[in-house]
Amino acid sequence: MRVRAVLILAIIVHSSLAFSATEKAIFAGGCFWCMEPPFDKLEGVITTVSGYTGGSKENPTYREVSSGQSGHFEAVEVTYDPEMITYQQLLVTFWTNIDPLNSKGQFCDRGSQYLSAIFYLNEAQEKAARASKQALTDSYLFNKDIVTRILPVKTFFPAESYHQDYYMKNPLKYHYYRNGCGRDVRLKQLWKGATLPFSSN
């Protein structure tokens, strides 16, 4: 019994250490359906969850957030293994999948719920996020102000289940929406051939 108890304890400790080795990052880049795929493709990303953050209402619904009255952003919570991928690399993926010049929303979607933002979870993330934004500003890659916000994290509320992995569950509807919204056309205009002026290492 003693040996068994020791083995069980060892398994629990090992599992706890493995779990604590993961980190999270939260990004808002307009429609959360479209922000899951670029992160899901990255080696070292464990999960992405679509949800809502930035507002004060507890457990908001999609209807409440999409009305633009709840104060929440549509966002994705990325869980990743920092030994396989860095926060800086996640920032590269974030920036190159948004329009940082759009102060009204993202692509065809308008409203505060679709604004772009980086929600930092700690001082290191804040420092990295602000440095990346400043580097983009200083690079003169664009001739307009970068309006993406950098904000302290608030409670992240997962969206309804039908929003999770929407691009996999409903590929035809997803592609119709994405193409109709002009997302990829605009991203190519902004980022094709661009070299980001901050490290992705």
**Cβ neighbours for 138, distance < 8 A, ≥ 6 positions apart:** 197
pLDDT at 196: 78
CA–CA distance from 115 to each of 82, 99, 175 (Å)? 27, 10, 21
Backbone angles phi, psi at 113, to 5 degrees: -70, -15
pLDDT, residue 18, reads 45
Q: pTM of the predicted model, to two decimals?
A: 0.87
Residue among 91, 75, 77 at smallest CA distance from 28: 75
- Residue 69's pLDDT is 87
- The string of DSSP letters for 55-80 reads SSSSS--HHHHHTT-S-PEEEEEEEE
Residues noted as catalytic: 31
Residue 183, pLDDT score: 96
Q: Where in the chain are the domains?
A: 20-191
- Chunk the chain into consecutive blocks of 10 residues (it has 201) and report each block's average pLDDT, rounded to whole numbers: 44 44 97 98 98 95 93 98 97 98 97 97 98 94 95 96 96 96 96 75 50
Position 20 scores a pLDDT of 53
The CATH topology of domain 20-191 is Peptide Methionine Sulfoxide Reductase; Chain A (3.30.1060)
